[in-house]
Structure 1
């Protein structure tokens, strides 16, 4: 499944229906509306997101993730409504709202019980131009998914024009990042499709039980309430910050200067390996005793060294924190951050760089279990991620084999920051790489060069089983198990 902005999705013309959750819209008090006080705290990352949203002029606007996918038409609206309500009852985080008092800074929460939610069904005029649909969706999701108000999410269905040959209905969903993460977005298509089939055709949805993200926040706070400065995570991040003179790593190439007027970032999406070649790349990595993600990190490190001359690879990578079976099907922001840093100057072979990557991931992955905001509080420090590399293997997500037929895609909102984020997803179709970066000539040119170099490196590994390192990335040797040195523990 690709991960792109809404503008990169092929949106047809058609008739829009908005599906907006509500809790007792005519009630005069929160209790009568179905809201009940809830003393469970947020997760650390949710709280940090709320506080940064309050402090930002954008007030949480455009911090959403989402999904788009198709279902068979014609649309049975009563069944779709029942599916959405069942989905909201399934996920407690969709029936809860956390807020921060702007005067006192106190955090509080209210939660509605199962069955307390209704859905406003808002019918819009038919749009004869796809651009009208795009503009409507962009405005709706940007304005109505703020973490500072409930609901911080919405569904939209798009029925094709009568004259269109296709009878497929497109479903769009968006939610603020505070209540969903990247894996959550790939679960939405499967769950809504299954619940719709159950509501429409009495086909059992068969969904796994989902734990509550609210309970995850409680357990996370309990575990990390006391955090000493001698904790491994604190020491690891302190060393990482010191290595960068107090800053988190930046993209290895120039991305230009921030403009005076904030413009939306640019982006790209490319399939760098099909399924067969992704398997071949994975086999080449396993022959060195390592895994595919380490091979991709090694390729990124070599690409950066060849293009910039700097042999030290530094980045941050997200790691999921779904450490219990009941979190697997949950919706929430189950993500920690892992600092990665290794120098390939003395590498004798690409295989040894792959092993270095594995060693770093193995050593620092436990660090991601501790929320970064909690670490920074212990260090009395602050720094903003500037170069992030995310990897997800979603081949075994529920119904992943149907994503292509469903025209399914994960979506992200526009961003205005001066940073570079790269997402690499391994799907049933192969490996896709997406990126967002500043809308400058330098960033556009250099990010494309970087992705091109990555593609060239992995292609050579697939085609020959080796990659000859240039002089700047190490002495020229081939990738094979005998030249990797000591084998690190697999991630």
Structure 2
């Protein structure tokens, strides 16, 4: 799987059909979904509230998390429709409605049998460019404040079909996309072959949300569980670690975005870097994190790397195969001073991650609201924030079929006041997807940092130095 902008994805022309998720007569009165009554996670509360406030002020902002994959041969549209419906019924969060309730944000699922799909013909799109443009507009049309929060469809051809789906971030995170691709493709293959689908057990995202809210309902700013964040803030000078290089941004302004995919290392190069990381008693993503910190320093950044790092909270149980927003975000910091060498820097990364994991249970949004209330009312991060994300697509559900399926993940946001990097690995190597503010300075900074990062990793892999 690649995480790639939809604009950089090659999808052949074909006949486009879409499926609308609709409530059945048994699940709603006059086609209206029932009001929500259950707990939402802290991530969802923040995301929904920002979308609501933006709507009230006509301050437009949109984003999506989407996926595409290929079915070879002539498609069985009935089996595909049944597979899509199976997945919506399987993952509770996709059937949820959201709304305000008693000053909070609430959600509640429709029962599995209370939803169905309704097919609609879009027509024939005669070029890859028109397909890409259509999919981008389709995905961005999914609205945080409107049900449903998933859209699905297919580009049908005689000898192959591209399946596509998009979700609002409210019900999806980075791992939800490969989970959805795996589930849809697996169920379709079973149904088209006359077999019963066989998928692992999934958990309740609402159950996860209720437990999170219960555990942290009484937390206040004096709670000892916030000491890790407080120490970080004292050294950093703020709750958020600033991106340390010039992006040419005006304070308080949001910019249109650039969304790019860059190859960093080949499969052989990635394996060589991984081997060097093991010699330093680390893992590949630790070496990548070290390389990012060193590269920032080489480009004019500080001798100490400070950043935010998303962490998956699914674990190895039923949540491992569950769609939802199971991501926490935590601060990480370590020295990247020039004289300490690769082994010393890797040791610092390892210690920093160990310390981070000891405090992984405190929800980012809860810490934000308690420790940086002056920023919490803002609709975005207050300035360009240093952010590091890594995902190994070889270890997600369905990974061994990704090449056959031509599996792709697509993320996008309309505006930003900073820069974010999502690093990912697959069988072909190591890649970086970037979304950043469209300014001349940001384009120069991102390009220079990318070149320095590649050179730094190559030096690590082949010379044992930065």
TM > 0.5 fold call: yes
List runs of 5+ in structure 1 lacking aligned partners.
469-491
Q: Secondary structure at the match of 1:146?
A: coil
Q: Secondary structure at the match of 2:396?
A: coil
> Could you tell me how far apart the structure 2 residues matched to 1:463 and 1:222 are?
50
2:344 to 352, 355, 368: 352
Aligned length: 457
> Could you tell me how far apart the structure 1 residues matched to 2:318 and 2:339 are?
42
**How much does 1:231 deviate?**
3.8
**How much does 1:226 deviate?**
2.3
Contact kept, 8 Å, 2:181 with 2:407, in 1: the verdict is yes
**How much does 1:34 deviate?**
8.7
Residues 330-355 of structure 1 show CA distances to partners (whole Å, capped at 9, x for unaligned) of 00000001101223236421111111
Q: Secondary structure at the match of 1:349?
A: helix
Residue 426 (structure 2) aligns with: 427
**How much does 1:280 deviate?**
2.1
Q: Does 1:222 align with 2:231?
A: no
**How much does 1:323 deviate?**
3.1
> In the superposition, relative to structure 1, how do residues 291 and 60 fare at CA in structure 2: closer, same or farther (>3 Å)?
farther
Q: Does 1:245 align with 2:244?
A: no
2:145 to 140, 148, 160: 148
1:274 to 266, 269, 286: 266
Residue 135 (structure 1) aligns with: 133
Residue 38 (structure 2) aligns with: 40
> In the superposition, relative to structure 1, how do residues 200 and 249 fare at CA in structure 2: closer, same or farther (>3 Å)?
same
257-266 vs 324-333, which moves further: 257-266
- Considering only aligned residues, what root-mean-square deviation do their CA atoms show, in Å? 2.4
Residue 395 (structure 2) aligns with: 396
Residues 141-183 of structure 1 show CA distances to partners (whole Å, capped at 9, x for unaligned) of 212x2121110111110013x6xxxx22111110000101001
Q: Secondary structure at the match of 1:368?
A: coil
**How much does 1:4 deviate?**
2.3
1:126 to 124, 129, 132: 124
Q: Secondary structure at the match of 2:356?
A: helix
Residue 116 (structure 1) aligns with: 114
TM-score (norm 1): 0.87
**How much does 1:140 deviate?**
2.0
Contact kept, 8 Å, 2:61 with 2:415, in 1: the verdict is no
Residue 254 (structure 1) aligns with: 246
2:313 to 306, 310, 321: 321
**How much does 1:266 deviate?**
1.0
Q: Does 1:295 align with 2:283?
A: no
Contact kept, 8 Å, 2:239 with 2:371, in 1: the verdict is no
> Could you tell me how far apart the structure 1 residues matched to 2:417 and 2:252 are?
12
Contact kept, 8 Å, 1:275 with 1:428, in 2: the verdict is yes
**How much does 1:107 deviate?**
2.9
> Could you tell me how far apart the structure 2 residues matched to 1:346 and 1:275 are?
28
> Could you tell me how far apart the structure 1 residues matched to 2:108 and 2:404 are?
39
**How much does 1:259 deviate?**
9.6
> Could you tell me how far apart the structure 2 residues matched to 1:115 and 1:2 are?
34
Contact kept, 8 Å, 2:34 with 2:97, in 1: the verdict is no
Q: Does 1:201 align with 2:193?
A: yes
> Could you tell me how far apart the structure 2 residues matched to 1:344 and 1:195 are?
47
List runs of 5+ in structure 2 lacking aligned partners.
none
> Could you tell me how far apart the structure 2 residues matched to 1:201 and 1:124 are?
27
> Could you tell me how far apart the structure 2 residues matched to 1:446 and 1:233 are?
37
Q: Does 1:70 align with 2:70?
A: yes
> Could you tell me how far apart the structure 1 residues matched to 2:241 and 2:252 are?
23
**How much does 1:209 deviate?**
0.7
Residue 184 (structure 1) aligns with: 176
> In the superposition, relative to structure 1, how do residues 171 and 290 fare at CA in structure 2: closer, same or farther (>3 Å)?
same
1:51 to 49, 52, 65: 49
Q: Secondary structure at the match of 2:240?
A: coil
Q: Secondary structure at the match of 2:325?
A: coil
Contact kept, 8 Å, 2:9 with 2:132, in 1: the verdict is no
Contact kept, 8 Å, 1:37 with 1:111, in 2: the verdict is no
> Could you tell me how far apart the structure 1 residues matched to 2:322 and 2:39 are?
17
**How much does 1:51 deviate?**
0.5
